[in-house]
Structure 1
């Protein structure tokens, strides 16, 4: 099962649209995760229309319309792997221990907010993944998203994808 992970799209504030390379990946994914800060409902509508299955949450920049359609935390089991999705996990210091304590029944926690790609493992075995942002790199060298595979009850092939620079607005 192929997964695509993204967060912090901030459309149309940070970019006018999702990058073409990312849009081209959508049909290849069995499940797409979005860890919040959509900003507009058009992006949610687009992903709902183009994705086989979408698992998303709202973020701190998402207004009432998005909060009415999305949960703060989402849970899904895929191929025997227990996932959680949340927008914000707090400061990076102590993140693994804090998230492991809050989500003891998960195998993988997908999160966003910082726009900083993250892939670590808590001592408990919880894997934490932040795909960065495909539209707003902030102080990172690239806009990013992630792909991964679920096979035989395990998460494998986690890959961070760097997007080419976009034209100035």
Structure 2
């Protein structure tokens, strides 16, 4: 199963349309995961035109998004458990907060956002995955998202791009 993972779209504040580089991958995906900070339900409707969308709400999301999406979720894909959470909160690092969010849960992958910092690494047999942002790179040189392939094996790769048009 091919999954496009994104987060922190912050639309329409950071742009009115999805980047063409992201759209190229959305056209080929089986599932779309958004790790929060959509900023508007319009993002969901845009993504939904490309396939099934799962996700969670983030700290800037309004009530309509909070009514539609949970704070955290666990999906099972081809026998692998995927935890999704935005990662916002007080004190501690974003990584520590997301690990605590799934403490005691048997998840293989934890997808999160919030920091806008692309991350792909293992911590105690859990793959931590932050796609970065396709709309708001902050101080980073590139916008980004992740292509996650889940089958017998798990493969994850960031897609980095300079132009969000």
TM-score normalized by the length of structure 1: 0.88
CA distance in 1, matches of 2:62, 2:101: 28
TM-score normalized by the length of structure 2: 0.90
Give the superposition deviation at 1:98.
Answer: 3.7
Give the superposition deviation at 1:97.
Answer: 9.0
Structure 2 residue 103 is matched with structure 1 residue 102: yes
Gaps of 5+ in 1: none
CA contact (8 A) 1:96 1:128 kept: no
Count of aligned pairs: 163
Alignment RMSD: 2.1
CA contact (8 A) 2:20 2:164 kept: no
Q: 1:97 to 1:25 in 2, by over 3 A?
A: closer
Gaps of 5+ in 2: none
Q: 1:43 to 1:101 in 2, by over 3 A?
A: closer
Q: Which residue of 1 aligns with 2:159?
A: 161
CA distance in 1, matches of 2:21, 2:157: 15
CA contact (8 A) 1:89 1:111 kept: no
**Structure 2 SS opposite 1:66:** helix
Q: Any runs of at least 4 consecutive aligned residues in structure 1 with deviations exceeding 3 A, and if so which?
A: 89-94, 96-101
**Structure 2 SS opposite 1:28:** coil
Q: Which residue of 1 aligns with 2:84?
A: 85
Alignment of 1:1-169 (within 5 A): 1-51=1-51, 53-88=52-87, 91-92=92-93, 95=96, 98-99=99-100, 102=103, 104-123=105-124, 125-152=125-152, 154-156=153-155, 158-166=156-164
Give the superposition deviation at 1:45.
Answer: 1.2
Q: 1:128 to 1:103 in 2, by over 3 A?
A: farther
**Structure 2 SS opposite 1:83:** strand
